[in-house]
Amino acid sequence: MDVRRFLSDLASRPDYRGEMAHHRRLEARPARFQDPAAPLLPRLRDSLARQGIARLYTHQARAVDAARAGADVLVVTGTASGKTLTYNLPVAEAILTNPRARALYLFPTKALAQDQLGKLRDLQLHPHLKPGVYDGDTPAALRSRYKRELNLVLTNPDMLHVGILPYHGTWASFLRNLKYVVVDEIHSYRGVFGSHVGGVLRRLRRACRWYGADPQFFCCSATVANPDELMRRLVGEDRRIRVIADDGSPAGAKHVVFWNPPLLARDGTRASANAAATDLLVALLRGGVRTIVFTRARKTAEIILRYARFALRESAPDLAGRIMSYRAGYSPEQRRRIERGLFEGSLLGVTATNALELGVDIGGLDACVLTGYPGSITSTWQQAGRCGRGRDESLVILVALDGPLDQYLVRHPEYFFGRSPEHAIVDPGNPHILSQHLLCAAYEGPLVPADQALFGPAAPALLADLAQGGEVRRRGDAFLWAGSEYPAGRVSIRSASGDAYRIMVRDTGELLGTVETARAFETVHEGAVYLHQGESYRVEQLDIPGRRAVVVPANTDYHTEPRTQMDVLLGEPVAERALGPTVARHGPVEVVTQVLGYRRKQLFSEAVLSEVENPLPPQRFRTHGVWFTLPKALTDRLLGEEYNLTGSIHAIEHAAIGILPLFVLCDRMDVGGVSHPAHPQTGAPTICIHDAIPGGVGIAEKAYTLLEDILSATLRAIEECPCREGCPSCIQSPKCGNNNQPLDKAGAMMVLHHLVGEA
């Protein structure tokens, strides 16, 4: 596409009001080629030639050489750089050379496994290469056959955890000959989920040892700040890892634009980011530009699709049917159909959540519109990488939301372009997580001292505690499972909630999709407008015992937005101690969220048409928290000096959660928090930070022991930030439910100085 002409046309429109806040051109990168040290097998060269590949890029050739040398390999290159070949070539070469060799591919989603199965079939190496997907959707009738016949199994960590390792005896032949384990998209394995995956991979290595195998690991990742550390924490600290980060693939020039919807004169708020994203999408589609629009919420993806279809039906009706939405909750068949349409070109555009952020191949796109900052530098570049897959120029437009986080970015673009990607935080040694995987491992076979070394230095003490609790029993120097049911079934490695709610059309019984239990009350409450592939339905009944929502088609001119509130109930403290002039406590807490009703908001204008009271039962989960109050003298001084009390403690809550991963190995999204100017249980201004995972995983407990250090670092981070009133680097949070309001940076610094004894 001619990007400069397109942007010039936008700027020359009569309704243009200076929305283009920043424009930066990232230079093109030429391809660099390299041959492996020893030539590929003739059969593989022929396979590549059939796909139009004459030579390998530098990173592909180096990955082949590293794999041949016996190293564990980690490839860290950009989206669409040909990472798939970096592991498919060594795996195919191993199987062609030794027909008994086996390989296991792990992907974070079922969609990726299906996509990669197609790429393996494109190699046309049958009957030597016999790949297949083995996951929860695999028919029972095929499972035993797959175990016998497949030499390359594609699955996900969940299925490995609950459906393969507990039955490893039936996989004995496969594990005995396992040569390679491929773990793709490892940047998605972070926080609690990543820590669980680290436990699953250690159990896999242990099972392989029983059958005499020690497979090589081959990992791929988007750019993160700590790739080597991330792979070691996932796979094991003892691995010999070769990191390949020199990307030899070509890339066309990429234009990055920050687009800020204009201020509305009547009340100072900004025009709708959804409307702006729709306008940009429609303009791109009219120009024949293949486009993806990313949104932060499923409903937003559906709303923008509906807006765009409405606009196109008037001006370009032939294009209205060539756009779709893509999000979680669609059936696998629906997602495959959309992916094929994008890849083959019958679809010209798609509105999507981050479900399309990972590497499902949807062909070459020319433009990407991000409706709101995705929350991290890594995710932003990952989404931006979905366009510009050839040598042509591409366009990325970040449409800013009307909130301090996005507004700071468009005012300070150097913050975004100058920052490196975030660290991916993983802690498989977390005692709460590790103890669960030790129980799973004990079920899979007796744990001996050599196994304990694999699980890390905390394993012996945890096993002793489990034995004392009767969950495992000693036999000599080994620990055996002492229960009757297999424990993997009770351990959710994604910490997901229960069964999903089904969304059914009343008159036809059609299953539109599903929604997770944790999101159901906000999404399919009675009266809600449920959007599906651009069509609207009204929720007529929410059947909570039956876990289903009954909907009817509804041609509404509005959408709905739930009104929710969250509270944290403090339990009896397990421990308490002095914290400067106050007291810090930690113990059990209960997080309570409740949908109180909903707003009807007019399409396009987003004006609130009405508010409906419709309280649903509160949803609760128990976890663990650390909390402290502000003493009366400090509160009086804060108010006397005219700081904003609520904004000050709100800012401390945000900043402390942002700092916490530096001290406690976790992901920021694994932590929640609440600040209350007069908590009903304490009667005082209270800050609580809690594990965001039901049951807790020890994050708050660890934070309690390090609270002075955490708060000191929080103070330094706020003080050293050059901003005046707060920014994403200090007190703003991408997950704030109150839109980062109110926040008081100066008041937060004053309170922290007193808490850490620096006043």
- The whole-number pLDDT of residue 97 equals 97
- The whole-number pLDDT of residue 319 equals 95
List the chain domain ranges.
3-27+251-418, 33-244, 431-490, 501-556, 565-595+620-755
CATH class of 3-27+251-418: alpha beta
- The whole-number pLDDT of residue 495 equals 55
Amino acid at 133: V
Pick from 576, 537, 752, 567: which is nearest to 674 by CA?
567
The two tokens of residue 229 are 């550390």
Residue with tokens 């009343």: 506
| Separation CA 83–CA 513 (nearest Å) | 32
Q: What is the dihedral of CA 333, 339, 342, 344, to 10 degrees?
A: -80
Report the CATH number of the 431-490 domain: 1.10.10
| Separation CA 553–CA 159 (nearest Å) | 37
Report the CATH number of the 33-244 domain: 3.40.50.300
**Which residues have C-beta within 8 Å of that of residue 163, sequence separation ≥ 6?**
134, 135, 136
> 399-444: per-residue pLDDT in tens?
998 877 788 889 889 988 988 887 888 889 988 899 999 999 999 9
Paired with 582 in beta bridges are: 579
| Separation CA 361–CA 119 (nearest Å) | 9
> DSSP labels for 633-665?
HHHHHHHHTT--HHHHHHHHHHHHHHHGGGTSS
> DSSP labels for 168-198?
GGGGHHHHHTEEEEEE--GGG--HHHHHHHH
Does 33-244 match 3-27+251-418 at the fold level? yes
The two tokens of residue 326 are 């893509």
The string over 19-42, giving b where at least 16 C-beta atoms fall within 10 Å of a residue's C-beta and e elsewhere, is bbbbbeebeebeeeebebeeebee
Q: How far is CA 93 from the centre of its chain?
A: 33
- The list of the chain residues with pLDDT below 70 reads 265-268, 357, 359-361, 363, 389-390, 495-499, 737, 759
Residue with tokens 């190293």: 71
Strand 291-295 versus strand 349-352 pairing type: parallel
| Separation CA 720–CA 159 (nearest Å) | 46
> DSSP labels for 461-477?
HHHHHHHHTTSEEEETT
**Which residues have C-beta within 8 Å of that of residue 318, sequence separation ≥ 6?**
none
